[in-house]
């Protein structure tokens, strides 16, 4: 496991020269590959760039894009930009928090779902907006949230044989 | 038949979010392999409220626009109109009002060409401006043309573009860099996204012209990470431009070399500020630094650098081809040309518009935007995002130009224009922006880091109904100190949303403060939700959504809300299909 991680980061490091200007692109590539930035990866990058690990860490924590914890299999980003705020984005976030039993910035214990907030994805005319695994959904209502979660939990039970009953993550709006 | 019928589908992020990709597939199923029919993707026509959009163009040049198309409708349109020759009249859109007051310079190709095809751009006159500049104009003449045009930066501050270029050109250091600021951080604005997704080559061409004028051989595009489609289309555009020799060495045989690198931002609003952006390209934390020296003297890696916004660049090829005077005929005395705005909020026709400067807010909201969506009353517009301000309906006749907006208390900003009806609470809006700046402050300046936090805390207690005597004066005092003691625009302008709402909507603050009342019924601590027994049919939907199980009752009988358990989240209000929940 650890060796795999090391090899994956090394492969990315080989694609860039290690001038400071390439630090962000390397971090972005590593996160795109691993889903987040594990501490070992940051240390490996630091030694390749010839800077102390704290430099890499300070950059990674400055930018909202970088995750220091693994994301969920499905990632929801609820937009709380100006238009979405006005059009009820908080209600949508509340709905996700309630149904998933987690707060924004967290991942469900089974790592199935992650919840984040984002400040505008540029589809303000379709507010409130949620980005579901990279796809933008417009005019999201509380009922749509349940619909989304239901389809994912159906997918999950199809994936897992023997079928297990869903709990917490999703389920019927009338169940919980 | 001869010339083909063209069927265009708007496939920018807005369109895709509304399902345009499925519409495209449905059309492809009917039309692939058909003679004389050309199905193509385009970017954004600007009518986000009507997505997905399908446009049918006949060989004779007539255009038929279909709005809110579903895959089923698309199949019908393909069969009846494209193949059958009979337009489906019922679904056609009459765009008279929406487009009548607009003038498209920046958006000249948006929604018309395929953004992933350089040939489409070339056919629309693309890369002729750089050819003209290289063959017929000296760099000084290019700058002179921009001076005549009166173009000012569209990223917010409105600095004259020609001057920035001239200063960078005259700066002694080598090499020189140019940067395109595509970080678009204003949460409620999407002009730059749309331009990049719909017409990326126009920005590249603008950058080429700038590089030639300034004497730069290398440039960067710094684009927001939240815009994956824009990034994808920029990458395609860069590769195509390189392949055709518009980027690289000896461009168009002129001896001029130039190439561009793409950098993705990483989700920090402050990186839209030019010095922070350069820090970020250098691989550091994006923290602004003191100016002077200005980037024109010492920018990226300490070298002379000119940085412009996406929209600024997109104007440039048009100006070079049509002349600075043609551009200057639009707009007002000191604000020339057109401006793109992102219309959102409770407006009927939200989307992207481009208007001549000097148009009034009223014309934008009512004639182009179609007024308030809900049928409620128009209350205010927010212009300029976290650095801007809220202007009340009574100032709707303010002309949209740099000076008038500043005088009214807002700013032009980058083009976010949010329309609010009387359901918006102005204290809540001010708090929203403060929450945003508190989160996004880079932490370098004490007043910006801590002062905004104090303002946020005061606004929090006011909206909680726990405001104190003297809070409003304290807000004003803090606002002044923060503006004066912050290094960059973020801190300097962070108090603006509070100051303008205090100025124009002071009575609302006072209602929260003294009467513990939120007139717009938005602030959670000051409202109560109740079930109206006459309307409730006992379906139980609200009960199933309530996060705190505060709602109880028997099916088919009116439910009731336990006020001790209710957290005022408003979910029941939102899900009820019978308008049986009221808010007081
Ligand atoms: C906090 C802050 C955020 C900014 N964000 C942006 C932005 O997202 N896009 C942009 O073009 N300019 C932004 N600016 C303005 C830039 O600093 C700079 O003035 C602009 O890119 C210059 O280009 P222009 O002359 O073409 O407008 C921002 C400024 C501040 C202070
Ligand atoms: S505010 Fe949500 S997409 Fe812009």
**Residues B443 and B373 reside in one and the same domain:** no
| C-alpha separations of B62 from B7, B55, B58, B74, B77 in Å | 12, 10, 5, 19, 16
Q: What percent of chain B has pLDDT over 70?
A: 99
Kindly state whether residue B458 falls inside one of the protein's structural domains. yes
Question: pLDDT digit string (tens) for B164-208?
Answer: 999 999 999 999 999 999 999 999 899 999 999 999 999 999 999
Kindly give the distance from the C-alpha atom of residue B445 to the centroid of ligand 2, in angstroms, as a whole number.
Answer: 28
With beta carbons less than 8 A apart as the criterion, state whether B349 and B368 touch: yes
* Average pLDDT along chain B: 94
Q: Does B424 lie at the interface with A, CB-CB under 8 angstroms?
A: yes
Residues 6 or more apart whose Cβ sits within 8 Å of residue B398: B360, B361, B391, B404, B405, B408
pLDDT tens, position by position, A80-121: 999 999 988 998 998 899 889 999 999 999 999 999 999 899
Same domain (yes/no): B85, B150: no
Q: In what order do the strands lie in the sheet with A135-137?
A: A113-118, A74-79, A130-132, A135-137
Chain CA centroid to CA B124, Å: 25
Indicate the residue of A22, A82, A87 with minimum beta-carbon distance to B385: A82
CA of A89 to the centre of ligand 2 (A): 9
User: Contact, A41 vs A5, CB < 8 A?
Assistant: yes
Residues in chain B: 584
pLDDT of residue B1: 45
- What is the predicted pLDDT for the residue at B326? 97
pLDDT on residue A98? 87
Q: Residue A162: which pLDDT band, with cuts at 50, 70 and 90?
A: low
Residue tagged 């869903």 (tokens): A166
Element housing B128 (H / E): helix B128-136
Q: Are residues B132 and B191 in the same domain?
A: yes
Residue B259 within any structural domain of the chain: yes
Both tokens of residue B476?
Answer: 């004003």
How far does Cα A86 stand from its chain's mean position?
24
In this structure, the answer to whether residues B141 and B174 fall within a common structural domain is yes
Local confidence band at B323 (pLDDT 50, 70, 90 cut-offs): very high
Q: Looking at residue B183, what is its pLDDT? A: 96
Cα angle value B466/B470/B476 (rounded, 5°): 110
Q: What CATH number corresponds to the domain at position B509?
A: 1.20.1440.230
For the Cβ of A123 lying below 6 angstroms from any atom of ligand 2, the answer is yes
- Whether residue B333 is contained in a domain is answered as no
pLDDT tens per residue across span B389-438: 999 999 999 999 999 999 998 999 989 999 999 999 999 999 999 999 99
Same domain, B464 and B415: no
**pLDDT at B244 > cutoff 90:** yes
Residues of A in contact with B501 (CB under 8 A): none
Substitution target from B191, B288, B545, B546 for chain A, most A beta carbons within 10 A: B545
The pLDDT value given to residue B96: 67
The domains of chain A, with CATH numbers, are 2-62 (1.10.10.1590), 74-159 (3.40.30.10)
Does B503 lie in the same domain as B485?
yes
User: B137 with B145: CB under 8 angstroms?
Assistant: yes
Q: Which residue of B has its CA nearest to A66?
A: B266
- pLDDT digits over B133-165, tens only? 999 999 999 999 999 999 999 998 899 999 999
Q: What token pair was written down for B580?
A: 């049986």
Band (B94; pLDDT cuts 50, 70, 90): confident
Please choose from B179, B272, B489 the residue to mutate so as to test ligand 1's pocket, defined by most ligand atoms within 8 A of CB: B272
B186 and B307 together in one domain: yes
Q: How confident is the model at residue B2 (pLDDT cuts 50, 70, 90)?
A: low
Pair (B438, B416) in one structural domain: no
Which ligand is the nearest neighbour of the Cα of A92?
Answer: 2
pLDDT at A170 over 80: no
Summarised one tens digit per residue, pLDDT across range B247-293 is 999 999 999 999 999 999 999 999 999 999 999 999 999 999 999 99
Q: What is the Cα–Cα distance from B27 to B72, expressed in whole angstroms?
A: 10
For residues B79 and A151, give the distance between their C-alpha atoms in angstroms, rounded to a whole number: 33
Residue B403 domain boundaries: 338-421
**Picking from B78-82, B180-184, B542-546, which range would have the lowest pLDDT averaged per residue?**
B542-546
Kindly indicate the confidence band of residue A2, based on its pLDDT and cuts at 50, 70 and 90.
confident
A175 pLDDT higher than 80: no
Pair (B479, B384) in one structural domain: no
Closest CA to B129 of B267, B399, B329, B319: B319
Residues facing residue B251 across a β-bridge? B256
pLDDT at B444: 95
Shared-domain flag, residues B206 and B312 = yes
Over residues B365-369, mean pLDDT? 94
Residue A156 pLDDT: 85
Mean pLDDT of A119-132: 92
Calculate ∠ Cα B258-B261-B262, nearest 5°: 145
In a domain? residue B107: no
Confirm whether B187 is domain-assigned. yes
Q: How far apart are the first and last CA of chain B?
A: 65
Mean pLDDT confidence for B66-84: 95
pLDDT attached to residue A168: 44
């Amino acid at each position: 496991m650890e060796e795999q991680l090391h090899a994956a980061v090394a492969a990315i490091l080989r694609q860039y020269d290690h001038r400071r200007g390439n630090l962000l692109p390397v971090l972005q590539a590593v996160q795109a590959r691993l889903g987040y930035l594990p501490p070992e990866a940051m240390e490996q990058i630091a030694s390749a760039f010839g800077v102390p690990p704290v430099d890499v860490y300070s950059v990674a924590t400055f930018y909202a894009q970088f995750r220091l914890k693994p994301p969920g299999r499905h990632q929801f980003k609820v937009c709380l930009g100006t238009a979405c705020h006005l059009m009820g984005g908080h209600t949508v976030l509340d709905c996700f928090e309630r149904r998933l039993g987690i707060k924004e910035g967290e991942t469900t214990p089974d790592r199935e779902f992650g919840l984040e907030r984002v400040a505008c994805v540029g589809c303000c005319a379709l507010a409130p907006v949620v980005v579901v695994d990279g796809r933008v959904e417009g005019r999201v209502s509380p009922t749509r949230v349940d619909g989304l979660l239901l389809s994912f939990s159906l997918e999950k039970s199809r994936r897992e044989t023997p079928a297990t009953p869903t709990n917490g993550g999703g389920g019927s709006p009338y169940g919980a | 038949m001869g010339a083909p019928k063209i069927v265009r589908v708007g496939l920018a992020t807005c369109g895709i979010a509304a399902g345009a990709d499925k519409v495209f597939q449905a059309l492809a199923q009917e039309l692939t392999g058909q003679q004389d029919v050309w199905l193509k993707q385009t970017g954004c026509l600007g009518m986000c409220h009507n997505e997905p959009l399908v446009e049918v163009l006949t060989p004779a040049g007539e255009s038929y626009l279909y709005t809110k198309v579903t895959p089923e409708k698309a199949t019908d349109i393909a069969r009846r109109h494209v193949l059958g020759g009979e337009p489906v009249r019922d679904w056609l859109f009459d765009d008279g009002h929406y487009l009548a007051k607009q003038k498209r310079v920046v958006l000249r190709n948006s929604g018309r060409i395929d953004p992933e095809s350089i040939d489409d751009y070339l056919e629309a006159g693309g890369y002729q401006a750089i050819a003209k500049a290289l063959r017929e104009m000296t760099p000084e003449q290019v700058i002179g043309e921009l001076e005549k045009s009166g173009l000012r930066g569209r990223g917010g501050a409105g600095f004259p573009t020609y001057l920035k270029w001239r200063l960078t050109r005259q700066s002694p250091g080598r090499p020189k860099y140019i940067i395109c600021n595509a970080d678009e951080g204003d949460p409620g604005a999407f002009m730059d996204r749309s331009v990049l997704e719909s017409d990326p080559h126009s920005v590249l061409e603008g950058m080429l012209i700038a590089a030639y004028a300034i004497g730069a051989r290398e440039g960067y595009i710094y684009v927001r990470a939240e815009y994956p489609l824009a990034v994808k289309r920029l990458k395609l555009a860069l590769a195509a431009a390189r392949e055709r020799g518009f980027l690289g060495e000896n461009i168009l045989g002129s001896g001029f070399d130039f190439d561009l690198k793409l950098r993705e931002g990483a989700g920090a609003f402050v990186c839209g500020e030019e010095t922070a952006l350069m820090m970020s390209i250098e691989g550091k934390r994006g923290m602004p630094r003191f100016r002077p020296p200005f980037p024109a003297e010492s920018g990226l890696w300490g070298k002379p650098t000119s940085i412009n916004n996406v929209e600024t660049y997109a104007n440039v090829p048009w100006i070079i081809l049509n002349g600075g005077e043609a551009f200057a005929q639009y707009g007002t005395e000191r604000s020339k040309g057109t401006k793109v705005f992102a219309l959102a909020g409770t407006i009927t026709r939200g989307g992207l518009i481009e208007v001549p400067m000097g148009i009034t807010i009223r014309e934008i909201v009512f004639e182009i935007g179609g007024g308030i969506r809900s049928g409620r009353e128009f209350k205010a517009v927010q212009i300029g995002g976290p650095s801007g301000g809220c202007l009340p309906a009574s100032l709707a006749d303010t002309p949209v130009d740099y000076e008038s907006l500043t005088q009214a208390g807002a700013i032009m900003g980058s083009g976010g224009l949010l329309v609010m009806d009387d359901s918006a609470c102005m204290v809540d809006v001010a708090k929203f922006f403060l929450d945003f700046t508190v989160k996004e402050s880079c932490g370098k300046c004490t007043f910006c880091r801590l002062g905004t936090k104090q303002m946020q805390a005061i606004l929090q207690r006011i909206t909680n109904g726990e405001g104190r005597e003297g809070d409003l004066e304290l807000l004003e005092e803090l606002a002044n100190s923060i503006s004066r003691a912050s290094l960059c625009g973020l801190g300097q302008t962070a108090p603006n949303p509070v100051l303008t709402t205090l100025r124009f909507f002071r009575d609302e603050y006072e209602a929260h403060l003294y009467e513990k009342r939120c007139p717009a019924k938005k602030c959670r601590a000051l409202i109560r939700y109740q079930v109206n027994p006459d309307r409730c049919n006992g379906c139980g939907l609200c009960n199933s959504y309530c996060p705190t199980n505060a709602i109880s009752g028997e099916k088919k009988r009116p439910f009731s809300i336990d006020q001790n358990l209710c957290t005022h989240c408003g979910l029941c209000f939102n899900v009820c299909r019978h308008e049986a929940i009221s808010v007081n």
